[in-house]
């Protein structure tokens, strides 16, 4: 109690000692710091999760360093000669991603018999309207190529809940996305207003968003790849890209 009284007295004396100009300077610094934090904050975040109520341990969702699409990374060969790696499948990415992160989504084993999924929740999207959704997918050439990440009608998919309580589904190839860019390693998929209107049920420009979730629940029994795995990067909401985990 004595220490608390001394601390309270010190705070009171300090506040009395501050001149109005000193108080104004402190307020200015606090305002500048707050503005810097807000400027640096992500407009939305992509938070991985696993839904595995029966503890199958057959699903996994993680942002992982080195797994993403490189937009401008300098590498060196054995003799020290530099090369810039810039994949044309992702012509631009999240400028805040300093570790080339990618989002790993895995489901091993059967799709239907195992009620489980890997996923990621998009935080910070409540109240918006949608003009564009998308992501980069570690897959060559096109969404229909059997090589690389799984891209099915149902996974990976966006589950979009609107303010009227309706759950809308935007699958990797249903409705088909626009191919915005591609390479031998990555493709950039985009669902604009036309594609969103073809979602099930349709997502219209007047719809207010309650939540958006990425779901991966198709396992290794689902063709044509039977891979049960997808690597995503640069998740796109209304042309804003997030290519890293929250807080990284």
Per-residue pLDDT reduced to its tens digit, 31-45: 333 333 334 578 899
Neighbours of 147 (CB within 10 A): 11
Whole-number pLDDT of residue 3? 45
Per-residue pLDDT reduced to its tens digit, 86-111: 999 999 999 999 999 999 999 999 99
Answer for the pair 17, 79: CB distance below 8 angstroms, yes or no: no
pTM here?
0.83
Query: What is d(CA 64, CA 245) in angstroms, rounded to the nearest whole number?
Result: 8
Kindly tell me if the per-residue pLDDT of 14 is higher than 90: no
Whole-number pLDDT of residue 113? 98
Longest dimension (CA), the chain: 74
As a whole number, mean pLDDT of residues 8-24 equals: 45
Q: Where in the chain is the domain with CATH 2.60.120?
A: 44-242
Kindly tell me if the per-residue pLDDT of 185 is higher than 80: yes
Whole-number pLDDT of residue 8? 45
Kindly tell me if the per-residue pLDDT of 10 is higher than 50: no
Fold of 44-242: Jelly Rolls (2.60.120)
Kindly tell me if the per-residue pLDDT of 20 is higher than 80: no
Mean pLDDT taken over the chain: 88
């Amino acid at each position: 109690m004595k220490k608390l009284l001394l601390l309270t007295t010190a705070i009171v004396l300090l506040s009395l000692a501050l001149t109005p100009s000193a108080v104004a300077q402190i307020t200015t610094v606090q305002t500048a710091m707050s503005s810097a934090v807000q400027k640096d904050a992500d407009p939305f975040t992509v938070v991985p999760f696993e839904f595995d109520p029966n503890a199958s341990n057959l699903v996994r969702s993680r942002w992982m360093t080195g797994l993403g699409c490189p937009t401008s990374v300098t590498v060196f060969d054995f003799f020290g000669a530099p090369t810039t790696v810039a994949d044309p499948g992702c012509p631009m990415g999240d400028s805040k991603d300093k570790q080339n992160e990618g989002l790993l989504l895995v489901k091993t084993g059967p799709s239907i018999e195992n009620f489980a999924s890997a996923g990621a929740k998009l935080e910070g999207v409540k109240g918006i309207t949608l003009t564009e959704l998308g992501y980069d997918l570690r897959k060559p050439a096109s969404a229909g190529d059997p090589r690389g990440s799984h891209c099915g009608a149902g996974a990976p998919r966006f589950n979009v809940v609107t303010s009227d309580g309706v759950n809308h589904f935007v699958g990797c190839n249903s409705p088909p996305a626009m191919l915005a860019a591609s390479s031998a390693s990555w493709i950039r998929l985009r669902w604009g207003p036309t594609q969103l209107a073809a979602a099930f049920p349709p997502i219209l420009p007047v719809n207010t968003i309650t939540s958006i979730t990425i779901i991966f629940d198709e396992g290794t029994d689902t063709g044509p790849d039977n891979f049960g795995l997808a690597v995503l990067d640069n998740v796109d909401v209304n042309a804003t890209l997030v290519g890293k985990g929250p807080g990284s």
